[in-house]
Amino acid sequence: MSEDFLFAGLRVLDVGSWIAAPVATTMLADFGAQVIKIEVPGAGDGYRRFSASAGAPDSEVNYCWQMDARNKRSLSLNLNSEQGLSILQQLIAQADVYVTNHTPRLRERWGLTHAELMAAHPRLIYAALTAYGEAGEERNREAFDLVAYWSRSGLMDLVRAPGADPAPALPGMGDHPTAVAMYAGILTALLRRQQTGKGSFVHTSLLANGIWSASCIAQAAFVDSSFERYRAMMGHLFTRVMYAAADGRWLQFTMVRTEAELDAMFAVLGVPELLLDERFSDPETRLLKGDELVRILRPLLRARDSGYWLQQFHQAGVPAALVGEVTGLPGDPQVAANNMVADPGDTGLRGLVKHPVNVHGLPTATPSKAPEVGEHSRQILQELGYDEDAISRFSSDGVI
């Protein structure tokens, strides 16, 4: 890596799987860190197969793996073998940052707890991700973000229309923001090390990040708030409802907040008489009669295409918005203008969705293709001083 990169020379071990913990190391790699990904021999990270699963859009490109595992080298290593653990310990001795999402029980079994590794390497930044936290009865419980982040935190229950069943989150929807939180923790620990010379134990969880995402409402639960009015209100706020246009696209009016905006909205829709209707004359009555207002507005909006309505509302100063579709993102000029999608390098992607951390003037690495399982095993072992005979023996013994 070029010395121009912020993290040039920073040595990082990605000893995790799937998204949240490994993507924190991908972000470090984007800014020049040298990342070695430790994978199970043969099978590798299970995330390698997600893009081809029934739960993902069809493509011949392994787009999720290329997006999230770029700019790394892969070492396949059997941590259930004594020799595999010995090799990992050699890498840890050279590392600045160790990232894992192994459960505490597994870390203890392998002798890879933060207490053990930091005792031997006091400058190490040890970053751990769990589903439910480092302590408590559920510290060893495994879960994807759809369960720990989305469901357990209360987000699944909160984000639904009145009377509708709870709906699952998108795959990775909690993992990716959790990766940003872990990245932030690692950077905070690196700054502390720069100031004190000491390493740190950094940890976060999917549950903690889910609660943080729900915090504008969840915080109320910690002051003994009553949720009765809040839940009832969600069924009556006409601005919380989505409205279908004639072309099947959906419109939202969440940002309609002032009386002037509401007046303009009714005028555009051709129902200025609603301004004089006592049911909708002030915010409180509109709340009480919100369901009636929704029944009036829905057929009006369904009479024209979304493009027509957006033009009319924007001319009138009504902050209407179109519910976006991911298929429209490649052609979205705002996405392009702000470089939210990067040069894909040799990943095989048409464009690469970037993480949201931007530092003006700070160079980032051109994405290189995500590694095959164990693609760099021989190279990394040679760097550790092993000769060809030893490496061949490790291969035949199932160590790599």
Over residues 83-116, the pLDDT tens digits come to: 999 999 999 999 999 999 999 999 999 999 999 9
Among the listed residues 16, 33, 200, the one whose alpha carbon sits nearest the alpha carbon of residue 99: 16
Reported as a pLDDT band with limits 50, 70 and 90, residue 231 is confident
- Is the confidence at residue 1, as pLDDT, over 70? no
Q: What is the mean pLDDT of residues 179-191?
A: 98
The count of domains in the chain is 2
Q: How far apart are CA 166 and CA 73, in angstroms?
A: 40
Reported as a pLDDT band with limits 50, 70 and 90, residue 185 is very high
Q: Determine, yes or no, domain membership for 198.
A: yes
Q: Determine, yes or no, domain membership for 357.
A: yes
Q: Report the C-alpha dihedral over residues 70, 74, 79, 80, rounded to 10 degrees.
A: 110
Sheet holding 97-100, edge to edge: 73-76, 34-39, 11-15, 97-100, 125-130, 200-205
Complete DSSP assignment for 283-331: HHHHHHTHHHHHHHHHHHHTTS-HHHHHHHHHHHT---EEPP-GGGGGG
Reported as a pLDDT band with limits 50, 70 and 90, residue 235 is low
Residue 198 shares a structural domain with residue 146 = yes
Indicate the DSSP class of residue 21: H
* H or E element that contains 264: helix 259-268
Residue 314 shares a structural domain with residue 348 = no
Residue 165 shares a structural domain with residue 309 = no
Q: What tokens does 264 get?
A: 């303009």
pLDDT digits (tens, 9 = 90+) for 361-377: 999 999 999 999 999 99
Indicate the DSSP class of residue 372: P
Reported as a pLDDT band with limits 50, 70 and 90, residue 238 is confident
Q: Determine, yes or no, domain membership for 117.
A: yes
Per-chain mean pLDDT for the chain: 93
Reported as a pLDDT band with limits 50, 70 and 90, residue 271 is very high
What pTM did the predictor assign?
0.91
Q: What tokens does 163 get?
A: 């009377």
Q: What is the mean pLDDT of residues 53-63?
A: 89
Q: How far apart are CA 136 and CA 142, in angstroms?
A: 13
Q: How far apart are CA 26 and CA 16, in angstroms?
A: 12
Domain hosting residue 307, numbered range? 243-322
Work out whether strand 352-353 and strand 11-15 pair parallel, antiparallel, or are unpaired.
unpaired
pLDDT of residue 283: 80
List CB contacts of 113: < 8 A, sequence separation 6 or more.
Answer: 104, 107
Matching residue, tokens 């935190």: 153
- Is the confidence at residue 13, as pLDDT, over 60? yes
Q: What is the mean pLDDT of residues 139-161?
A: 92
Q: What is the mean pLDDT of residues 317-341?
A: 94
pLDDT of residue 257: 87
Query: Which of 322, 354, 371 is the C-terminal boundary of a domain?
Result: 322
Query: Which of 263, 294, 322 is the C-terminal boundary of a domain?
Result: 322
Q: How far apart are CA 363 and CA 199, in angstroms?
A: 26
Q: How far apart are CA 28 and CA 369, in angstroms?
A: 16
